Amino acid sequence: MSEQIEAPEVFNPKFVESLLACPEGHNKSASDAGSSMIRRKIRENGFSRRIIPPKTVSKADLNQWLDSELPAIIEEMEPNSPGAKSIPFNDTPDSVGYRGDKFVIRFCLITTREYVKNIYELMTYKMDLRQVIIDNALKDIQKTEDARFIAAIDAMVGSVGGNGDSGHPQNFQIEGQMTRDSYVEVYSYLEDYDLNNGVILMNRKTGKNFLKFDRSEIGGDLAQSLFTEGLQALTEAKIGGIPHIFTIKKDLVPNNVGYVFAEPKYLGRFYILTDVTMHVKREKNIIRTSAEECIGVSIPNVAAAARFEFVPA
């Protein structure tokens, strides 16, 4: 049996009544009702969470610092190996010391603005206006996550023609339009340094270049499917066996630009200390609503990402 959903004219008065009944102070409850308001634009979840799947941690996982009270976790990274060699039967192996590398994951707060509304003004809406504001605010939080993530990657890969933090080039330009031949180059950026391609990120407009590939470039019926269905024809968004993410956030991922990342276990960590929490506080007739989270993201393997850009003639 399908779930019965109350009409907006019913659930919004109930929501207002629940706020009037609750004591002043901190209230984490939120409306379960949706909204049939006309939306202004598409909002999507964060892509950084798909590149490095987040893991929830707790106070017990934090490490103490002598000179700071800020939350952080010390992680370990495998050391480089000096390799092996062949020796005579009557010889002994060389002695070499070893140590593991360590890195720190520091946490930060991401918060929305505090939305303020008179409760009597909320009564004039048939829709749950507060729920719409919160839904959009949660997407805004994840966009901030993505912005910080991309800024860190851009700093790590360095400028075109130079070396990235890994000591070798990580920011490439490809002359001409995206073609099957030119796109093959993308797959080699990480593989040349003994890393597998985990996922490739680009915006939707750049991704639509795959629609230009004809039957001779793609083969089979996929060319027709791309023409009739667009990017939805790419099952699980896999191209050349590599998962692709097509984002609408072209202000973060510009046209003709893409990023290639290694698999998560070779890339970094995404920890959630406090997941997104909605706060609703009532002061007399004023409702204050905000949301925040506490996360930590670190990319210790600085060789595990590359940036590429197609430069049409």
Tens of pLDDT, residue by residue over 239-270, are: 878 899 999 999 999 999 999 999 999 999 99
Dump pLDDT digits (tens) for 181-228. Answer: 888 889 999 999 999 999 999 998 898 887 776 655 555 555 555 555
Please give the Cα distance from 149 to 298 (Å, whole number). 9
User: Between these two residues, 233 and 309, which has the higher pLDDT value?
Assistant: 309
**3-class DSSP string for 57-98:** CCHHHCCCCCCCCCCEEEEEECCCCCCCCCCCCCCCCCCCCC
Question: Residue 33: what pLDDT?
Answer: 43
Dump pLDDT digits (tens) for 47-58. Answer: 999 999 999 999
Length of the chain: 313
Please give the Cα distance from 243 to 235 (Å, whole number). 10
Residue 171's closest CA among 299, 306, 310, 267?
306
Give residue 310's pLDDT band: very low, low, confident or very high (50, 70, 90).
very high
Give residue 122's pLDDT band: very low, low, confident or very high (50, 70, 90).
confident
Q: What average pLDDT is seen over the chain?
A: 80
Dump pLDDT digits (tens) for 91-101. Answer: 777 777 767 78
**pLDDT of 172 over the 80 cut:** yes
Sequence ranges of the domains in the chain? 8-29+43-78+101-159+168-311
Write down the CATH number for the domain with range 8-29+43-78+101-159+168-311: 3.90.1690
Within 13 Å, how many C-alpha atoms sit on residue 97's CB side? 2
Residue 110's closest CA among 268, 270, 254?
270
Give residue 27's pLDDT band: very low, low, confident or very high (50, 70, 90).
very low
Question: Residue 166: what pLDDT?
Answer: 92
Q: Where are the alpha helices (DSSP H) in the chain?
A: 8-21, 48-51, 119-122, 129-157, 180-184, 188-191, 204-207, 215-218, 222-229, 264-267
Of the spans 70-79, 217-226, 235-244, 297-306, which averages the highest pLDDT?
A: 297-306
Average pLDDT over residues 222-237: 52
Predicted TM-score (pTM) of the model is 0.80
Cβ atoms of 280 and 287 within 8 Å: the answer is yes
